[in-house]
C-alpha cells in the first residue's frame, strides 16, 4: 500500500540533491546546453518555482511512502482549482524501489486525493526519451496531447 504525505522542510535538501542533477541532465539532453549551463538553469528554475521549499504557496511537494513509512519517492504537483486540474512537475520512484508497481499505486493515490478536492484532470510533461515513464503513464490511463519542440537560434 502506498501513501502520499507532505514533504517535511528537513527532507527538501535531499529532494533537491536528487532533482536538480536529474533535471539538469534532462535540460542538457533536450536543449543542447553544457552540463554547467544546464545545472545553473535547473537551479535557477527550481529556486524560482519553489522559493519557500515545501511550504511554497500553490505547490504540493509530497513524499511517497510504503506501508511501513519507508520513503520510496517524490511527487510535486501544482493544483489549479480554477481549471479543476493539476500539473505534475516531478514524479520519481527511487531506484531501489522501481519495478514493483509503486509508480502506478502512487498515481492512483494522487488521483484519489485530487478527485476528493474537485480536480478532474491531471496534466504532465514527459521527456520524449523517457520510455519507462511514458509506459507507466499510458498504463495508468494518460494519453498524449501534444509535443514540445525547441530550436536554438543565434549560436553557431
Coil vs helix vs strand at 86: strand
DSSP annotation of 141: T
- Tens digits of residue pLDDT in 91-143: 999 999 999 999 999 999 999 999 999 999 999 998 888 888 999 999 999 99
pLDDT value of position 153: 85
Q: Is the pLDDT of residue 156 over 70?
A: no
Q: What is the mean pLDDT of residues 38-57?
A: 97
Cell 506501508 found at? 67
pLDDT value of position 30: 85
Three cell numbers at 129?
526519451
pLDDT value of position 155: 67
pLDDT value of position 102: 94
Domains defined along the chain, listed by start: 3-139 (3.40.630.30)
- Tens digits of residue pLDDT in 59-103: 999 999 988 878 999 999 999 999 999 999 999 999 999 999 999
DSSP annotation of 7: P
Contacts of 27 by beta carbon, 8 Å cutoff, 6+ apart? 33, 38, 41, 42
Contacts of 140 by beta carbon, 8 Å cutoff, 6+ apart? 104, 107, 108
| Predicted TM-score of the model (pTM) | 0.91
Amino acid at each position: 500500500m502506498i501513501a502520499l504525505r507532505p514533504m517535511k522542510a528537513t527532507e527538501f535538501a535531499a529532494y533537491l540533491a536528487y532533482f536538480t542533477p536529474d533535471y539538469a541532465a534532462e535540460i542538457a539532453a533536450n536543449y543542447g546546453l553544457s552540463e554547467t549551463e544546464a545545472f545553473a538553469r535547473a537551479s535557477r528554475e527550481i529556486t524560482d518555482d519553489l522559493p519557500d521549499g515545501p511550504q511554497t504557496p500553490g505547490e504540493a511537494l509530497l513524499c511517497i511512502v510504503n506501508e511501513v513509512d519507508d520513503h520510496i519517492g517524490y511527487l510535486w504537483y501544482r493544483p489549479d482549482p480554477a481549471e479543476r486540474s493539476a500539473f505534475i512537475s516531478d514524479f520519481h520512484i527511487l531506484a531501489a524501489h522501481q519495478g514493483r508497481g509503486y509508480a502506478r499505486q502512487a498515481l492512483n493515490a494522487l488521483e484519489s486525493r485530487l478527485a476528493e478536492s474537485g480536480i478532474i484532470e491531471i496534466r504532465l510533461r514527459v521527456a520524449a526519451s523517457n520510455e519507462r515513464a511514458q509506459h507507466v503513464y499510458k498504463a495508468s490511463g494518460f494519453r498524449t496531447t501534444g509535443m514540445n519542440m525547441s530550436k536554438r537560434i543565434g549560436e553557431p
